[in-house]
Structures are given as C-alpha cells and as structure tokens.
Amino acid sequence: MIAKKTKSALAQKFNLLVDEPLKNYTSFKIGGPADFLALPKSKTELIRLLKEADHHDMPVTLFGGGTNLLIGDKGIRGLVVITKHLKSTIRIIDKKRAKTTLYTESGERLSKVCQFAINHSLSGLEFSAGIPGSIGGAIKMNAGTLSGDMSTIVETIEVLNQETFKVKTLHRQSLDFSYRKLHQKGFIVAATLKLTFEDPEKIKHIFKQNLAKRNATQPVSFASAGCFFKNPTQGKPAGELIEKSGLKGMRVNDAMVSDIHANYIVNINNATCEDILLLKQKVQEAVSQKYHINLETEVRMEGE
Ligand SMILES: Cc1cc2nc3c(=O)[nH]c(=O)nc-3n(C[C@H](O)[C@H](O)[C@H](O)COP(=O)(O)OP(=O)(O)OC[C@H]3O[C@@H](n4cnc5c(N)ncnc54)[C@H](O)[C@@H]3O)c2cc1C
C-alpha cells in the first residue's frame, strides 16, 4: 500500500490520474478505479513509468483499446497503462513488386491501419473489418474472424521487456500464436505487417461486405467486449451452443445474453462486473448440462 503523500507526489511527477474509473476506458463500460492511470506518449515515457512502478513494487496492467476486457467493480490496484497515445505515423517501410511491409506503433487503432491499407491498395487486413481496439491488443489477442487472424500478417513485433526495460524485435518465426492468443510476455510497442498489393476496388468491396455482415449479425449498438466465450476446438461454435440452450435474452440485472448473437454478453445500461460474472456462470452451467462442454472465456478479466 502506497502512502497518500507518496501517491500524490508520484501522480504529480508522472502526470498520472489517481483513482480514475476504468469503466470510461473499456467498451463494456464496466470497471472500478485504477490506483494510478497513465497515458504515455512515447516509448521513453513508458520506460520511465515502468521503472518507477518497479521501484515502488507496483503491479502494472496494460490496456490497449479496452475492447476485450472485463474489469472488476473494485478496480485495479497499482498502475494501469493505456497505450492509446503510443502512435506515430503509419508508414510503408519496404516495397517489393507484390508485397509490402507496413510499420505501426502499438497504440494505433486497428481501424486506422485498415484505412491506411485501403488507401494504399494493400490487402491482408480485410478479415479484421470492424474489430475495435488497438494494433497491440489485436496482436496480443490474435484477433480474427472466420476469414483470418493477425498471425497471418504479423511480420515482426517490438517487445519491451518489463524486467530489463529493453526493446527487442521478434520475427514471425519465433512468435507462438494460437487461437485468440499470442504467447509472448512483455509490452508490444510496435509491429510490422506484411501485406500484398491488390485492386483497391476489390479490397474496398470485401471490407464493405465484412462490415455489413458484422452489423447485421452482431449487437453493435450495446456495450460489450465482443464474443464472450471462445469457440470450442471442435463442433458447434459457442454462440450456437448458447442459443440452442435457450439462453438468448437471459438477464442478471443489466447484464444480458444478446438476443441478436448469443455469444455476446451485453451491458444494456448499468451492469456491474458481478452481474456479468453471474450471467457467465449461468451460461456455462446450462451449456455444460446440455452439451457436456465447458465454455472458456475469450474476454479477459482484470482487477478485483
Ligand atoms: C463490438 C466488438 C466486436 C469484436 N469483434 C471481434 C472479432 O470479430 N474478433 C476478435 O478477435 N475480437 C473481437 N473483439 C474483441 C476485441 O476487439 C479484440 O480482442 C481486440 O483486438 C482487442 O484489442 P484492444 O486494443 O482493445 O485490447 P485490450 O482489450 O485493451 O487488451 C486485450 C489484452 O491484450 C493486452 N494488450 C493490449 N495491448 C497490448 C500491447 N501493446 N502489448 C501487449 N499486450 C497488450 C492487454 O493487456 C489484454 O490482456 C470485439 C470487441 C467488441 C467490443
């Protein structure tokens, strides 16, 4: 526990927000306060912050866009770092006849990188149309859809080691991606993506199609963290299992199983983390009873 005096001295020195409600930083609109919250604007600032946190033995939690996170109602102890401002110009760093390499920092929004790709006739990101959040979060989560995921286009990542405070570049051959996960410690600060040249009209058309499909089949107007459960490795997808268990529309206070897409748990107004967790448990129990399948969560839970 940090003394109140040290807390305010630290906050002043590093321009930190104190006891900041995290519901303002997540797409679920849920989450209690962070002891400290930082929005560093550069790698140097991030390293200074991490060193200071280490000096005070303070746990550090990293947020990108906060679109795959469920935060506890009592919030997060220690320092929360949000990568939102860790971005510089997206740029092409290597141009060959058919392929090109694009460089981006981790705080950049995935949607902005997609727009850049469209503007430069670059294909490869179409699968990600409409996935919210940052590039760093998308790589860490190996975000994707039925038509692809980040593992297929990531060429390198720059990772900041939280113990040595050194940045290392890792190539795709040494990266261990699996379904919705990159098994890699540390903070991704930048990445390069390998894309191919394609007819811009074709690229635009696919993006448009994918977005239209998403808007028609997902509850995009409610607060959520996307699909709540991972699809089982075999058999029916999680949404179908939940729907066929008759759970669409099931509620715990303001937490509800979406009636548009059953793998979305939505916050229809003022749901708490506790409401979401209770509903999650009910869904898991019902699916387990009917299908003998244990649904694992895709959404990451942080805090107390
Ligand atoms: C409406 C909606 C639709 C969605 N649709 C999809 C979909 O189709 N497919 C899909 O895969 N996901 C989907 N998601 C989930 C989510 O958008 C993705 O997982 C997204 O890529 C997460 O990015 P983020 O920046 O928001 O990460 P966050 O939610 O902020 O963080 C997720 C995890 O990544 C870690 N992380 C974040 N940044 C970094 C970094 N720079 N270095 C290391 N670790 C980091 C965090 O610590 C956390 O553990 C959807 C979410 C919503 C709300």
Mean pLDDT of the region 133-148: 97
- Asked whether residue 65 carries a pLDDT value surpassing 70, the answer given is yes
Answer yes or no: is pLDDT of 1 > 70.
no
CA distance 183 to 166: 19
Mean pLDDT of all residues in 251-267: 98
The Cα 47–Cα 17 span in angstroms is 18
- For residue 116, the model assigns a pLDDT of 97
Residue 66 Cβ inside 6 Å of ligand 1? The answer reads yes
Q: Which domains does the chain have, with CATH numbers?
A: 4-85 (3.30.43.10), 91-217 (3.30.465.10), 238-302 (3.90.78.10)
Closest ligand 1 atom number to CA of residue 218: 1
**Which one of 227, 243, 273, 302 is the catalytic residue?**
227
Task: State pTM to two decimals.
Answer: 0.96
Return the amino acid letter for 238.
Answer: A
Round to whole Å and give the CA distance between 244 and 211.
26
Check if the beta carbon of residue 209 is closer than 8 Å to that of residue 229.
Answer: no
Tokens of 27: 């797409």
pLDDT tens-digit readout, 71-91: 999 999 999 999 999 998 899
Ligand 1 pocket test, pick from 63, 67, 145, 193 with the greatest ligand atom count within 8 Å of Cβ, gives 67
List of residues 6+ apart from 83 with CB closer than 8 A? 40, 62, 63, 64, 106, 107, 134, 136, 137, 187
Residue 4 confidence (pLDDT): 75
Q: How far is the CA of 160 from the centre of ligand 1 (A)?
A: 19
Q: In angstroms, what is the span from residue 68 Cα to ligand 1's centroid?
A: 4
Nearest to 152 by CA among 141, 163, 142: 142
Does residue 275 carry a pLDDT above 90? yes
CA of 261 to the centre of ligand 1 (A): 19
Residues 6+ apart with CB under 8 A from 289: none
CA–CA distances in Å: residue 196 to residues 123, 259, 271: 5, 38, 43
User: CA 242 to CA 227: how far, in whole Å?
Assistant: 12
Q: Is the CB of 27 under 6 A from ligand 1?
A: yes
Annotation says 114 is catalytic: no
